[in-house]
Copies of this chain bind each other. A is one copy, B any other.
Amino acid sequence: MEKELVFGHQNPDTDAIGTAIAYSYLQNKLGYDTEAVALGEPNDETAFALKKFGFEEAPRVIKTAANEVNKVMLVDHNEPQQSVSDIDKVTVTHVVDHHRIMNFNTSTPLFYLAEPVGCTSTIMYGLYKHFKVEIPENIAGIMLSAIISDTLLLKSPTTTERDKKAVQELAEIANVDYQKYGLEELKAGTNIASKSEEELIDLDAKSFDLNGKNVRVAQINVVDLPEALERKETFLKTMKDSAKSEGYDLFMLLITNVLDSDSTALVIGSDEALTSFEKAFGEVKDSEISLPGVVSRKKQVVPPLTEAFK
């Protein structure tokens, strides 16, 4: 069997890394020869989760894939600009994802499973059940961590009944109290004091092609919004520099309080792009806008922006 690499998106979060580990394990059990890799180093939250469940090393970081393999499997993403830089030079044989489908084109049939649930690991949990493959304790732990991360401990509006059921069952296999562990995990990802603005705006950032406009949406989790906003001017300057060098028409930084599930966004961009943004979310004052209840980029940010940019 020809070796394939399994990976999640750039700027990996706990779902991208955790589900890649889980899918690689499952596919190897089913007879494939795969290795879970990552398109970046784990963030603080993911590192916390990996350590908690006994993974001594994070998946190997790759910059390109075609130098190693002909075939790859994607989890937690499908849009080419979120994937490995040479994605056009390899064949995608499998995708498991929970996002919209955009600019994902293949020349041959493939396995593609997307479901509109809160986390790719919830779909992965269903695949383990379907193939009747037993989930080891550490894999259950990292999948649980992925769902806690993506759903903000089941409080995000993306959360479905299936996510809740998966969390309960995976917590049992992983032998943890998911409420207690979940808060610890989320808090592990909120330590922004030790990081520069450059790091923070790139930590969990994704690019979207919205009707030809290059839109960057970054998100950071905090437990103290006012503390984060003390760094507003430096954030804005850093975002402007990044937009200039990378060619973003709009840069949005979503700062989310993981304890009360509210966000404030910092936004910069061209006049035209800002007009579209305001069509979706209302007036931006001093490059800032309060977004009560907004915590999900996928469900609460990208769809209204997509509409507004049409």
Contacts and interface: CB of A to CB of B under 8 A. Distances in A.
Interface of A: 98-116, 130, 298-299, 302-303, 306-307
Contacts of A99: 109
Given A113-B112, A113-B113, A130-B130, A105 B107 contact: no
B111 A116 contact: yes
Contact of A109 (B100, B107, B110, B130): B100
Give the secondary structure class of A's interface: loop
Contacts of A101: 101, 104-106, 110, 112
6 contacts: A98-B109, A101-B104, A101-B105, A108-B116, A110-B114, A112-B112
Contact of A111 (B111, B114, B130, B307): B114
A307 B108 CA distance: 11
A235 to B, nearest CB: 28
Chain multiplicity (copies): 2
A286 to B, nearest CB: 29
Contacts of A116: 108-111
A114 B109 contact: yes
Nearest to A309: B107
Given A101-B105, A101-B106, A109-B115, 5 more contacts: A98-B109, A101-B104, A101-B110, A107-B306, A110-B114
A283 B75 CA distance: 42
Contacts of A98: 109
B115 A106 contact: no
Nearest to A99: B109
Nearest to A302: B107
B107 A303 contact: yes
A214 to B, nearest CB: 16
Contacts of A306: 107
Contacts of A109: 98-100, 114-116, 298-299
Nearest to A113: B113
A166 B115 CA distance: 24
A117 to B, nearest CB: 8
A114 B115 CA distance: 12
Contacts of A113: 112-114
B111 A100 contact: no
A61 B130 CA distance: 36
Contacts of A110: 100-101, 114, 116
Contacts of A299: 108-109
User: Which 7 pairs across A and B sit closest by C-beta, in order of nearness?
Assistant: A109-B116, A112-B114, A107-B306, A100-B106, A102-B105, A108-B303, A101-B106
